[in-house]
Amino acid sequence: MKNQILTVKDNKQISDDVFVMKFEKEENEYKAGQFVELKVDGFTLRRPFGVYDFEKGELSLLYKVVGQGTAKMATMKRGEKIDALTELGNGFNVDKAKKPLLIGGGLGAAPLYYLAKTFKEKGIKAEMLLGARTQSDLVFLNDFKNVADVKVATDDGTSGFKGNVVEALKHYDFDCDFYYACGSLAMLKRVASYSTNGEISMEARMACGFGACMGCSIMTTDGAKRVCKDGPVFYAKEIIFE
Amino acid sequence: MNNLKDFNLKVNLFGYELKNPVIPASGTFGFGYEFADVYDINCLGSISLKGTTLNERYGNPLPRVAECPVGMLNSIGLQNKGVDKVISEEIEKLKKVYDGKVIANVGGHSVDEYVEVVRRFNACDKVFAIELNISCPNVKGGGMAFGTNPSVAENLVKAVKAVSQKPIMVKLSPNVTSISEMAKAVEGAGADGISLINTLVGMRIDLATRKPILAVGSGGYSGRGVFPVALKMVNDVYKAVSVPVVGMGGITSAREAVEMMMAGATAVMVGTENLVNPYASQQIINDLPTVLDELNVKDINEIIGSVK
């Protein structure tokens, strides 16, 4: 963990309520699946965001405006500064897979972009299944297509396979040896009940983000664990979904 | 910055000398070692450990934190590994990174549970005092139920005092009609000190779902916003009892720490601010000499209870 003042380089709106905030180059190292916590002016608690991209020292975060904090972020301009805790969490273990399958649900799939890039740099083109309610939720589809072999599933059939992620997994029958999943709790639970041969990135409301408050603890086969500090990435087989 | 050495920051709590009066508050600092890779925690006066119960507790369902204007709500529910593992695992890890002695915070659901946990801490040399948490709003049938009725609190303190070989500091709830009455009751029952305030009961509602944000409905409000409430209550208790008072509630700076001491606190606890700014407790300690210098005070003990 580091405490840094980041400078906004770009804050690009990519759909009605989704933005990508990019920061000026910093001395950081990020593993895919790690996150940062931003201290938005006027709010007590920091907001956690998974690393969307990290390219030549420049960090990008993808976020949706869901409340007052993210609405304030959406107004931030190039050159503005923000207090951040960086390099948080454990990240995905990319050594587990020779033939990885990346499973993402909705905007929660954002961290899989940097994961797919990480595999690409290792010379592995990952297979990816992106699930969403409807086509318009897949705002970053074109970005993902540049770094992975992407299949799509939508609940309403407006793009790709019509059905949920698990039905799509059965339909596409991917040739993979390990999966990496990121998305809504409901989706992750379905994926874990289909197969436990993978890693899952969990999401939770957090207060501190570095293991002090126990605000984000989940139950695992090895007792309670903190999403922020012991995760956010866990083996699918160790998570006990409520 | 003024040199720490030019000022006496040492205070005495139950016969134990703290190198300064700044103590991270229970529940905001884990078991201390979690912060050891953030800064050298040996600068701290002491540490109040995460609330500990007899058996392992996962705590309440998620979400159990929520944002508020100038503060936060929590309904963690005393997540801990149970007293035996706290002593054999957590405190062992803390020993490797912190030289001083610490305060064990004890929670419970029954008199018997409190008594048993306190008894098991007797053998733990790392702990110089027990903070008896009778004010946690987040455990059913315990916690705050002991801290809102003077005679119930009195009985508990007597039972705990009968077995404890360490000083007992009772942590009071602000969710009462008269904090002075509660303070007098626990002092009369033998408490060696009083710490306050725990969190104020509160809730938030998600407008879209019309459901409370916290899964259990409500929780405890803490942070910057509670500071004036805490200050007044610390002053009330300071005037009502003769045992040492440890003040907490919304402290974010050395100036507020000094203000809390002027209200009557022998030492102060820093809570929610540790979660917002992991360096908060350290920064407050480093800034204390500057504030004392402005006030022309060389010995921090001079300011305790000095409000006119």
**What is the DSSP track for B12-38?**
EETTEEESSSEEEPTTSSTTSGGGTTT
3-state secondary structure B38-75: CCCHHHCCCCECCCECCCCECCCCCCCEEEECCEEEEC
Average pLDDT over residues A199-219: 95
Q: What b-and-e string marks burial along B181-198, b requiring 16 or more CB atoms within 10 Å of the CB? A: ebbbbbbebbbbbbbbbb
Q: Is the peptide bond before A111 cis (omega within 30 degrees of 0)?
A: no
B151-172 pLDDT, tens digit per residue, is: 999 999 999 999 999 999 999 9
Element (H, E) at A190: helix A185-194
Mark yes or no for CB contact A213/B224 under 8 Å: no
Architecture of the domain made up of B4-58+78-198+223-303: Alpha-Beta Barrel (3.20)
Mark yes or no for CB contact A204/B62 under 8 Å: yes
The answer for residues whose C-beta is within 8 angstroms of residue A146's C-beta and 6 or more apart is none
Residues from chain A that touch B65, judged by Cβ atoms under 8 A, are 45, 205-207, 213, 215-216
What pLDDT was estimated at residue B2? 58
From the CA atom positions of chain B, what is the Rg in Å?
Answer: 18
List where CATH 3.40.50.80 sits in chain A: 94-238
Terminal Cα distance for chain A, rounded: 30
Residues from chain A that touch B64, judged by Cβ atoms under 8 A, are 205, 215
Find the CB nearest B72 among A3, A44, A224. Answer: A44
- Residue A188: closest CA among A108, A100, A112: A108
Residues from chain A that touch B81, judged by Cβ atoms under 8 A, are 223
Q: Which of residues 171-230 of A touch B (CB under 8 A)?
A: 204-208, 210-219, 223-224, 229
Tell me, yes or no, if B68 is annotated catalytic.
no
What's the sign of the alpha-carbon dihedral B99, B122, B17, B262? positive
A15-28 pLDDT, tens digit per residue, is: 999 999 999 999 99
What pLDDT was estimated at residue B6? 82
Give the nearest chain B residue to A229 (CA atoms): B34
* C-alpha distances out from residue A3 to A38, A87, B86, B111, B120, Å: 10, 9, 29, 43, 38
List where CATH 2.40.30.10 sits in chain A: 2-88
The answer for residues whose C-beta is within 8 angstroms of residue B50's C-beta and 6 or more apart is A214, B26, B27, B29, B30, B31, B79, B80, B86, B90, B105
Average pLDDT over residues A211-229: 95
Q: How far apart are CA A89 and CA A114, in angstroms?
A: 15
Residue A201 backbone phi and psi in degrees, to 5: -95, 120
Q: Which fold has domain A94-238?
A: Rossmann fold (3.40.50)
> Domain limits of chain B?
4-58+78-198+223-303
- In contact, B279 and B24? CB cutoff 8 Å: no
Which of A1, A3, A40, A45 is the best mutation test for B, with the most CBs of B within 10 A? A45
* Min Cα separation A153/chain B (Å): 27
Write out the residues of chain B at the interface with chain A, using a CB-CB cutoff of 8 A: 27-30, 34-35, 37-38, 50, 56, 58-59, 61-72, 74, 76, 79, 81, 223-224, 272, 274-279
What pLDDT was estimated at residue A47? 94
Q: How far apart are CA A47 and CA A43, in angstroms?
A: 9
What pLDDT was estimated at residue B147? 86
Kindly report the average pLDDT of chain A as a whole number.
95
Which of A188, A213, A219 is the best mutation test for B, with the most CBs of B within 10 A? A213
Residues from chain A that touch B66, judged by Cβ atoms under 8 A, are 205
Q: How far apart are CA B80 and CA A239, in angstroms?
A: 19
- Homologous superfamily of A2-88: Translation factors (2.40.30.10)
Find the CB nearest B79 among A44, A46, A224. Answer: A224
Q: Are strands A126-132 and A100-105 parallel, antiparallel or unpaired?
A: parallel
3-class DSSP state of B154: helix
**pLDDT average per 10 residues of sequence, chain B (308 residues):** 78 98 97 94 98 95 92 94 97 98 95 96 98 82 79 95 98 96 97 97 95 96 97 98 98 98 98 96 97 96 97
Q: Which amino acid is at B103?
A: I
Q: How far apart are CA B249 and CA A160, in angstroms?
A: 54
- In contact, B92 and B124? CB cutoff 8 Å: no
A40-99 pLDDT, tens digit per residue, is: 999 999 999 999 999 999 999 999 999 899 999 999 999 999 999 999 999 999 999 999
Which of A72, A86, A208 is the best mutation test for B, with the most CBs of B within 10 A? A208
Q: Which of residues 73-112 of A touch B (CB under 8 A)?
A: 85
DSSP secondary structure, A144-186, as one string: HHTTEEEEEEETTSSSSEES-HHHHHHHH----SEEEEES-HH
Number of Cβ pairs < 8 A linking chain A and chain B: 87
Burial class (CB in 10 A: 0-12, 13-18, 19+), B211: exposed
What ipTM does the predicted assembly reach? 0.90
Q: Are strands A81-88 and A2-13 parallel, antiparallel or unpaired?
A: antiparallel
A136-166 pLDDT, tens digit per residue, is: 999 999 999 999 999 999 999 999 999 999 9
- In contact, A222 and B81? CB cutoff 8 Å: no
What pLDDT was estimated at residue B69? 82
Mark yes or no for CB contact B59/A242 under 8 Å: no
Strand B71-74: give its sheet, edge to edge.
B65-68, B71-74, B219-222, B200-202
